[in-house]
Structure 1
């Protein structure tokens, strides 16, 4: 689970949203078809995730037809199976009791994709079978992703000519894509009024912390070999450019106004926030925490605050204690923009058995290899993390 969310609040919201959406539809219907599913929620990504779950079920059911007693690779059989399965796909019929769990899960996935896209795609890759990403799986990820679609599309592009790659390779690509194109990520606030058409969405209740640094979506193409090739166009929503969209009423009677968002990029809060295990940089600046001497000794610059005490607390894993913003800074400033070199170095530092051994790696290997300025804030921040790791 993404650590940006209050788990219980997320679960409760998803259930409430699914109950409301399903209730509105099934008040006048007994079952829902595929075409109706595509228009069910005002948030098209929710509908698409429901369709993707049905697609997975459709594929698994096709595999269950296979038997060791018949030749399922014969051209006639393959063609007949394809026609049969495609025909089935055009006759989706789901009752409310079966739809609500799918809707709740689709809502959960959509909210994580909106508010924590890095975690969403990381989890999607790590959950691949045999820790391998196939070309077909990469294509399916692109097909059923509408929000921040450029991320799986870029992954799929890097897989051209490869039928399968290990997930760790795909994760390295993901790091590079987000580092290079992170500003293209969509802004969550454009989706808040869409969710709120059914159930009020309050990020202050849903999230522990939030950092909004997103941008408009890209157009989505369509395909039609089977129903599950269908993709959904995003409803027209004006870009907010850091502004808060306020919707009064709903439907044709709704009135939309735009006002400056409380997280406008021109203010102090434009600084990206670290995950919850990190202190606020507004209250704990590196130069206020400690000064690191060439020998690795710490000289306190003043009374230790609560924030500083938390910042110096021991940690079990170097990689997990580094926020996404710190990670990008280390990659850019210390490893010349090479995410793979950063990952290798952090893994090696985490395997060190003592602070002295880790400090020697920094001083005599990485500093020499990458020409580090040992008095820089980036190096001092890394050293401080090492101290906490081996405290």
Structure 2
């Protein structure tokens, strides 16, 4: 395993800074965050699912407040009513920014400890579960583990093989499993890349410095299934399957912050569109202007001139030209496209992005959108959502 020692103070400070930047970006146009949005909040799945873990732990503490010595909570009717309440509430999660900040910060801290010191993480979990069936509880929490999954599973297998649940024995099993685990460096480096893309990772003790590797801007992993219920009757959270994405070859190895300070290049007007394509778009919505009218102009302006909004991490990243559509779409844009254009069908959304990415030209991309999706979902080609999607595709081919 990784030999670096975490600096607790630096880890806590980093988690707070990282969380603040993520939330400043997300809550620009939102008043609260839902359970489904939590799952895709950051490109680091482990952080997102640890947020769910922390939230569930908080919820367990809240449910204890329901109990009173004056009522029989073992009664079957009462128990059923409580479960119904829990399930109903779990489908209507809405957390304000200030309340969510602490949850996200704790999730980031837990992710860093699990990434660099899994023994400490496991021992802390075992301590919280003291007095309970540790094997059963750890197995229930396995749904939250997205990094070092093999390590976690090997510990569960050892505990299920008749190993004593004595605290000392359990700790010994955990330490031995971590010591024998053969880490895949690529798994850790991928998470480091995602952290570094927002805030340079510096959480180690000064006597054992480890330079942070800053790679090209990370891709945000897409969630391909709907999450029907966050707690799923307090028994099991369904796994969110993901389609494997092809990662781009790094173009240059330099800190992300350096790229953000560079002046944006002028946006070049697109080449003239063919008549057949313009007719197809007009047939979808006769009143809509053709592509030349939407995108061509005599005055060439920089992106800063055209979009004079306060820059955030997301806006800086999405303003940079890129060959990868998934990397140029912000969290807010993705949410808007999926819900407003694809009616919540994430599979169609991901399929459309792949087709746009493999198209040979802007004309071909728009023609495919019109034929395959605009008609299917009855898009208004003059709507802000459609224009925003066309701008993203346009930057792909300019």
1:241-276 Cα offsets, whole Å, 9 max, x none, are xxx9878664684579xxxxxxxxxxxxxxxxxxxx
TM-score, normalised with respect to structure 1: 0.53
TM-score, normalised with respect to structure 2: 0.52
Q: Distance in 1 between matches of 2:51 and 2:201?
A: 20
1:119-178 Cα offsets, whole Å, 9 max, x none, are 222332234334x65333212331212111223322323333879822222112113323
Structure 1 segment 1-391 matched on structure 2, within 5 A: 4-130=5-131, 133-160=133-160, 165-183=165-183, 187-202=187-202, 208-209=208-209, 226-228=229-231, 229-233=237-241, 236=244, 250=317, 253=321
What's the offset of the Cα at 1:226? 4.1
Larger RCO, structure (CA 8 Å, separation 6 or more):
2
Q: Distance in 1 between matches of 2:172 and 2:246?
A: 33
Q: 1:179 to 1:166 in 2, by over 3 A?
A: same
Alignment: residue pair count: 244
What's the offset of the Cα at 1:94? 0.7
Segments of structure 2 that go 5 or more residues without pairing to the other structure are 213-222, 232-236, 260-316, 325-398
Segments of structure 1 that go 5 or more residues without pairing to the other structure are 213-219, 257-391
Contact 1:6/1:207, CA 8 A, preserved across alignment: no
Contact 2:36/2:227, CA 8 A, preserved across alignment: no
Contact 1:134/1:164, CA 8 A, preserved across alignment: no
Over the residues paired in the alignment, what is the CA RMSD in angstroms?
A: 3.9
Higher strand share: 1
1:206-252 Cα offsets, whole Å, 9 max, x none, are 8835599xxxxxxx9x9978412144457857799xxx987866468
Q: Distance in 1 between matches of 2:105 and 2:149?
A: 21
Q: Distance in 1 between matches of 2:247 and 2:40?
A: 22
What's the offset of the Cα at 1:10? 2.1
